[in-house]
Amino acid sequence: MNNVQQENAQQKKIIFSCQPGGCLTGVIRVPGDKSISHRSIMLGALAEGRTHITGFLEGEDAIATLNAFRAMGVKIEGPNDAELTVHGVGLHGLKAPVESIDLGNSGTAMRLMSGLLAGQQFNVTLTGDASLSKRPMKRVIEPLTKMGAVIDSKPDGTPPLTISGGQKLTGIDYVMPMASAQVKSSLLLAGLFAEGATCVAEPATTRDHTERMLKGFGYTVENYPLNSLSNPLSNSLPTKKGTKVCLLGGGKLKATNIDVPGDISSAAFFIVGACITNNSDVTLQHVGINPTRIGVVNILRLMGADISISNERDIGGEPVGDIRVRSSQLKGIIIPKDQVPLAIDEFPVIFIAAACAEGDTVLEGAEELRVKESDRIQVMADALSNVGVKARPTVDGMVISGSEIKGGEVDSCGDHRIAMAMSIAALRSQAPITIHDCANVNTSFPGFAKMANSLGHNIRVNVV
């Protein structure tokens, strides 16, 4: 594709036209987990030897991470049919890229790579698209700076980020002010290059893919409950409930094989779709059911969803299973706060379940939603209101009253999860729902509309 074609492609807009009604039936396997796909490239590149990856998510976000490491001298074969091979260069084998690294729409890639690159010997600048350029990075910049990193950003802490090489990093004992798997992972990756121990205490459990995968690559990682006084890597005494993760710098990563399970964040759209429509029966095969990611299932079960998990097994340190979902009569609930970090990416579609439930659903403690690809609290409240649902945003959540979905036009504000969530809402709407600005669906779920239609939905993708 030449420069003119690329520019024209970037100017094209994608609109979802979703017809009302229908139900979902069938057996499918959703694309690979985005979080694990990112990490498999990062750790595979830093390992010694060849890492073979299957089930890799060929979405734009994960491809951006792949291209970033190619730009730093890592040979990567593929992806071909979701398979690729990473020829690791070791912890100190990355090379300076010729130009800045563009991470597109991926906040995960930027935050994790900030930690990983803080310990390199070369300077590098990380950039992103208009959405990523507005997302807060101080939450990783500040603790990384305490470790000795030198990172420049815009005055408000947003990208681009310029990371200075050749810095001596020292491990720290860091208590996160709010639960964030991305901050935790960024610090642990920096800790690989730091002198001494790096410990990260989190006030609530967050996804643990980084810790699991580090162990899979042969690196020692220790987990401690925060009420434990037997932590040999840290002298500080924990004072809060939660968990602490520690590792020592200076080790090595050994190449391994990774089979990426289906992404539960992608499965969540069809889980909710089957719950809210009559005569639905969907089985999602080979889905990751990591206990730090299963919040969407826990919340929906509390609402009365008919969800069963079978064929449970462990693949490469990650629990996997087949999820069957059948039509349910949902009821509104107060969402338990301990489930919020376990479902933080799934709330746009959980809001659709709430709109179809009897009574009110109340979410609190989810202020993190305001700094995702969009302000997901406000944007979802606006979208729901546009199609007739009673939704009242709060500072840290939302109150949604079960309502008839009337149909209408909504703006996803370039947020892939909002575009997909509102398309699921059409299954219960009285009239079509038109969703604008859907191009970024390809960042996490290429082929979403095609897969949804194969189950019985009716989504027409219009390129204008």
Which residues are known catalytic residues?
A: 345
Specify the DSSP class assigned to residue 456.
Answer: T
Residues 434 and 398: beta-carbon distance below 8 Å: no
Strand ranges for 327-458 from DSSP E: 360-363, 390-394, 397-401, 408-411, 433-436
All residues at 6 or more sequence positions from 450 whose CB lies less than 8 Å from its CB, including other chains: none
Instruction: Tell me which residue of 17, 23, 28, 120 sits closest to 323, measured CA to CA.
Output: 28
Place of tokens 């209408």: 408
Angle between helices 60-71 and 107-118 (to 10 degrees): 20
322 in helix, strand or coil?
A: strand
Instruction: Tell me which residue of 395, 344, 342 sits closest to 372, measured CA to CA.
Output: 344
Instruction: Tell me which residue of 321, 332, 231 sits closest to 283, measured CA to CA.
Output: 321
The Cα 115–Cα 189 span in angstroms is 6
The Cα 307–Cα 354 span in angstroms is 16
